[in-house]
Homo-oligomer: A and B are copies of this chain.
Amino acid sequence: MAPITASLAPDLQVTEWLNTDRRWSLHDLRGKVVVVEAFQMLCPGCVSQGLPQAGRVVELFSPDQVAVLGLHCVFEHHEVQGRREALEAFLHEYRITFPVAMDEPSDQRIPKTMAAYQLRGTPTLLLIDQRGRLRKKHFGVIPDLLLGAEIMSLVQESESVVEEPKEVSMSEGCGEGTCIA
């Protein structure tokens, strides 16, 4: 994983959210480790590996400590995958119940959040620490043993943060730039 000096994760740019009543932002999730599964509904590796793994993270970790989000990054077959009803039907059939964001299309092939994170493709797993910093960006399959270790590492890191709140709020401050939220 990237060191704790990593940059803040870019904001999610989302047209619609599914499986949730609210619009999530990474800022609202400060204090939790955030696991983002970037996928496409017609990506075989996402369907067979990435999304089931994200589901196991949901089952195993406490929602108070770890938030799991899907990010539907359509960069091919836009006309098919880009429709909300298609994604809804997919999530229903595959029983995916965690919140899923539809990455906002741009005038390029690559949607906006995917571009901001410079993702190579899908599936990609992102790990964002409790202070909103992007600590891991993994394209392809990552073993469960490693993922479990890395999530727990971030969970505990954030706990120690709680013990020294002042220093933390300072290091966030202006130093991290105006766009940070």
B93 lies within 8 A of A85 (CB): no
Residues of B within 8 A of A143 (CB): 56, 60, 144
Residues of B within 8 A of A148 (CB): 144-150, 152
Q: Could you say which interface size class chain A belongs to?
A: 35 or more
Mask: chain A, 91-105; 1 = CB below 8 Å from B; 0 = not:
011100000000000
A77 at interface (Cβ–Cβ under 8 A)? yes
Copies in the complex: 4
Residue in contact with A145 in the complex, picked from B76, B81, B144, B153, CB distance below 8 Å: B144
B44 lies within 8 A of A93 (CB): yes
Complexed CA–CA distance, A152 and B151 (Å): 9
Complexed CA–CA distance, A151 and B150 (Å): 10
Distance between A80 CB and nearest chain B CB, rounded to angstroms = 5
B56 lies within 8 A of A145 (CB): yes
Distance between A113 CB and nearest chain B CB, rounded to angstroms = 21
Contacts A94-B44, A152-B153 given; does A85 touch B89 at CB 8 Å: no
Interface positions of A from 75 to 124, Cβ below 8 Å from B: 76-77, 79-81, 83, 85-86, 89-90, 92-94
Could you pull out 6 A-B pairs where Cβ atoms are within 8 angstroms? A53-B145, A60-B143, A77-B85, A77-B93, A86-B86, A145-B145
| Extra 7 A-B pairs, beta carbons < 8 Å, given A43-B93, A86-B86 | A60-B143, A61-B149, A80-B86, A80-B89, A144-B145, A144-B148, A152-B153
